[in-house]
Amino acid sequence: MTEIKLHNSRSRTKEVFTPLDPQNVRMYVCGPTVYDRAHLGNARPVVVFDVLYRLLRHVAKTNGWGKVTYARNFTDVDDKINARALASDRRIEEITAETTQWFLDDMAALGALEPDHMPRATAYIPQMITMIEGLIEGDHAYAAEGHVLFRVRSYKQYGGLSGRSVDDMIAGARVEVAPFKEDPMDFVLWKPSDATQPGWDSPWGYGRPGWHIECSAMSYEILGASFDIHGGGNDLMFPHHENEIAQSCCAHPEGEFAQVWMHNEMLQVEGKKMSKSLGNFFTVRDLLDQGIPGEVIRFVFLSTHYRKPMDWTAEKAAGAESKLDDYIKSVAQYGDLEAARSTAPMDEIVQALADDLNTHAALGRLDHLANHAMGTELAANLVFLGLFSFEELEARVAQLQSGKDGLAPLAERLGQVRAAAMASKDFSEVDRLKSALLEAGVEVRMSKEGVELVPGPNFDPSRLEGLS
Ligand code: AMP
Ligand code: ZN
């Protein structure tokens, strides 16, 4: 049995994870609002919970649990989307469909597996209406002027996740005061739409749902009234997650909603908060287009524990890139990719992840495998951590090999020139060849045994054309 420990935001301690139903381990993560490309910060929860999903799937096998069910939503009804449609004179459905596909492509480039369920909010409007009706029946919500509001004071445990009282929260929050609210803390479950806004018929008139009810309705439909893990960025803890808990527990008192709450810390850039005004705001696609591979972004993410602020720097990206290149060389030299497919992930790596996702420690073990020429194990663990797929590793190893084969005549010539230089003591030709190779992105290794030329990631064969 592998024991998994996870930090539960609600208890603020690491707890041993015990699935409610070992035959079906259930996890819900708040997904993106689809109106624009995902910025680098949006990718952090995706990568963090992808690592957890991979760990759970592995441990499910070794512990004899059943399946793992992972749901992550798309919020495709939101005022930011409406504003984008209006400004660009495009249809809402066009924008949300395009942005959803961008998100999936960009996250796949970071090695994130697709969740088992990816519900879109607009496909669950009837379920949201049913849930809101139930809340009204139970006196937890009231309709007023086309709105439906959740009565926060009706749920005694409100604030239990972040450990704050309602009065403290009112003092600190930017709550919207509206004449139709009984209490400023009450939040919107349903609001009226005009003809220019997306809307659906409901018992309270033509309107659209509030953001929080979406996650409560979709998680209930897909995972049930009680499930295991709920995740998201820590900026969502209040009010979004407090409101999800209030809605779900009041609408479904038979269940307990999520058992374990997990929150990732925020991402910063070069030590500063990422923001448009500071000019350090960029999307995942921007980085990919600059030639920074997805596995490099993922590696940088995994090097910081998810509950610590993570600082994205160009220096870290460069360091990750050269480390991953070394790993590929090690796999090519010492590994057997066929055998790697049936090699279990290293116990120390599983144990590190099982200790509240200690990804930093897990990466450290990759170094150990590389340093001990354990290429097959290294390959299996690179795949387990989602840094590469087996197909990607095969392609990278083949690329390295064909580069090496192509360089073989030059390696031989350099060997001869060097032998001649030893005799003549004139090394100018050796130096000329060496610097041309370095400039073309080839690493030159010379030893008593001979000359080895290793193409690097930026190897450009066209720069060697005049040489051979
Ligand atoms: P949003 O589209 O703003 O609702 O955010 C989608 C997800 O990205 C949520 O889980 C947020 O917590 C997360 N997120 C947003 N900004 C950052 C950031 N700078 N660092 C880490 N996660 C973030
Ligand atoms: Zn949510």
Checking if the pLDDT of 138 tops 80, the result is yes
As a whole number of angstroms, the distance between CA 379 and CA 439 comes to: 29
Checking if the pLDDT of 132 tops 70, the result is yes
Of residues 316 and 165, the one with the higher pLDDT is: 316
As a whole number of angstroms, the distance between CA 220 and CA 215 comes to: 8
φ, ψ dihedrals at 131, nearest 5°: -65, -40
Using a CB cutoff of 5 Å, list residues around ligand 2, an ion: 30, 215
What pLDDT digit, counting tens, does each position of 215-251 carry?
Answer: 999 999 999 999 999 999 999 999 999 999 999 999 9
As a whole number of angstroms, the distance between CA 56 and CA 59 comes to: 5
Cα–Cα distances (Å) from 307 to 54, 98, 162, 301, 349, in that order, read 18, 32, 15, 12, 19
| Nearest-10 crossing angle of helices 125-137, 242-251 | 70
**pLDDT confidence tier of residue 355, bands split at 50, 70 and 90:** very high
Residues 306, 360: contact at Cβ < 8 Å?
no
Site to probe by mutation for ligand 1, drawn from 44, 102, 211, 230 as the one with most ligand atoms within 8 Å of Cβ, is 44
What pLDDT digit, counting tens, does each position of 8-33 carry?
Answer: 999 999 999 999 999 999 999 999 99
Per DSSP (E only), the strands in 20-138 are 24-29, 67-72
- Is the shortest distance between the CB of 260 and ligand 1 below 6 Å? no
Mean pLDDT of 257-272: 96
Q: What is the mean pLDDT of the chain?
A: 95
Ligand 1 atom nearest residue 235's Cα: 12
Residues 38, 32: contact at Cβ < 8 Å?
yes
Cα–Cα distances (Å) from 286 to 38, 101, 290, 458, in that order, read 10, 16, 6, 19
31 CA to middle of ligand 1, Å? Answer: 9
- Is the shortest distance between the CB of 231 and ligand 1 below 6 Å? no
CA dihedral sign of residues 309, 311, 316, 317: positive
Measure CA of the first residue to CA of the last residue in the chain; give whole Å: 58
Alpha carbon nearest to ligand 1 atom 15, residue:
42
218 CA to middle of ligand 2, Å? Answer: 9
What pLDDT digit, counting tens, does each position of 276-289 carry?
Answer: 778 888 999 999 99
Query: Which uninterrupted H or E stretch holds 261?
Result: strand 257-264
Judged on CB neighbours under 10 Å (0-12, 13-18, 19+), 456 is middle
305 CA to middle of ligand 2, Å? Answer: 22
Residue 326 is predicted with a pLDDT of 95
Checking if the pLDDT of 468 tops 70, the result is no
- Is the shortest distance between the CB of 338 and ligand 1 below 6 Å? no
- Is the shortest distance between the CB of 159 and ligand 1 below 6 Å? no
